[in-house]
């Protein structure tokens, strides 16, 4: 996933990817979310220092840019910090404004549902794994509840194992997979989208198979479908 800072080689494309992801997210959301995202996009476009990877601007200037009062600026900046979309680098003091930088990992996580609406090429680019081909789980917001294994199926039990081993990976990619059937040793799982299915099939099939075989050695194959 796109988590590198938007500086250096390829920085221009990463900047546009961040803004596109945020815009697509906003366009599918309600009015208050759209306003918050538009304010951040405008602030980034107008005042973000990409060379230093920081935002240094006073509340009065932000209020003028957003056409609001400073009380609204305080409230909206607090929302952005609370979400992790902005990270405080240095608090403001007398004669010195606060310094922030983009919380890229959190912003990418929160906007992920809208990536495929931009296009499969865009989603694929943002989901590319690091060079060592290891899957990097996303940061979590709060605890991820464990799955319910009460039906006793091999997939429910395997999900429990996977959750215990790596809850971030489980929350990002595994939780959404549902069991649709079993024929002999072939277990069929459904993903919520074509992209999700392709990503899991490419990067996680061996891991899912190992977890399933740990609870039922009769499973010999995992098949991904969309449904």
Say what the pLDDT of residue 6 is: 55
- Of 12-16, 21-25, 193-197, 204-208, least confident by mean pLDDT is 12-16
Span 37-58, pLDDT tens digits: 999 999 999 999 988 889 999 9
Whole-prediction pTM value? 0.55
Cβ atoms of 60 and 70 within 8 Å: the answer is yes
Say what the pLDDT of residue 130 is: 41
- Of 37-51, 132-146, 209-223, least confident by mean pLDDT is 132-146
Say what the pLDDT of residue 20 is: 94
48: left (phi over 0), alpha (psi -120 to 50) or beta: beta
Fold of 11-109: Arc Repressor Mutant, subunit A (1.10.10)
The alpha carbon of 129 is separated from its chain's Cα centroid by a whole number of angstroms, namely 13
Q: Which residues of the chain does CATH 3.30.300.180 include?
A: 132-226
The CATH superfamily of 132-226 is DnaA, N-terminal domain (3.30.300.180)
* Residue listed under structure tokens 């919380």: 103
Q: Which residues of the chain does CATH 1.10.10.10 include?
A: 11-109
Number of Cβ within a 10 Å radius of residue 71? 10
């Amino acid at each position: 996933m796109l988590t590198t800072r938007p500086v250096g080689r390829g920085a221009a494309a990463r900047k546009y990817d961040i803004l596109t992801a945020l815009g697509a997210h906003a366009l599918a959301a309600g009015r208050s979310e759209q306003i918050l995202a538009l304010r951040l996009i405008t602030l980034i476009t107008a005042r973000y220092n990409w060379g230093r990877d920081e935002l240094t601007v006073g509340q009065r200037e932000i209020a003028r840019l957003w056409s609001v009062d400073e009380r609204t600026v305080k409230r909206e900046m607090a929302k952005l910090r609370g979400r992790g979309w902005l990270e405080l680098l240095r608090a403001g003091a007398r004669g010195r404004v606060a310094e922030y930088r983009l919380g890229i990992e959190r912003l990418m996580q929160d906007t992920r549902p809208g990536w495929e609406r931009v296009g499969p090429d865009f989603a694929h680019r943002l989901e590319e794994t690091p060079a060592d081909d290891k899957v990097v789980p996303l940061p979590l917001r709060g605890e991820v509840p464990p799955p319910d294994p009460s039906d006793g199926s091999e997939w429910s039990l395997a999900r429990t194992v996977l959750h215990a081993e790596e809850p971030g990976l489980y929350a990002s990619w595994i939780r959404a997979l549902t069991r649709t059937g079993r024929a002999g040793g072939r277990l069929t799982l459904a993903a919520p989208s074509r992209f999700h299915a392709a990503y899991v099939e490419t990067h996680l099939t061996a891991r899912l198979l190992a977890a399933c075989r740990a609870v039922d050695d009769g499973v010999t194959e995992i098949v991904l479908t969309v449904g």
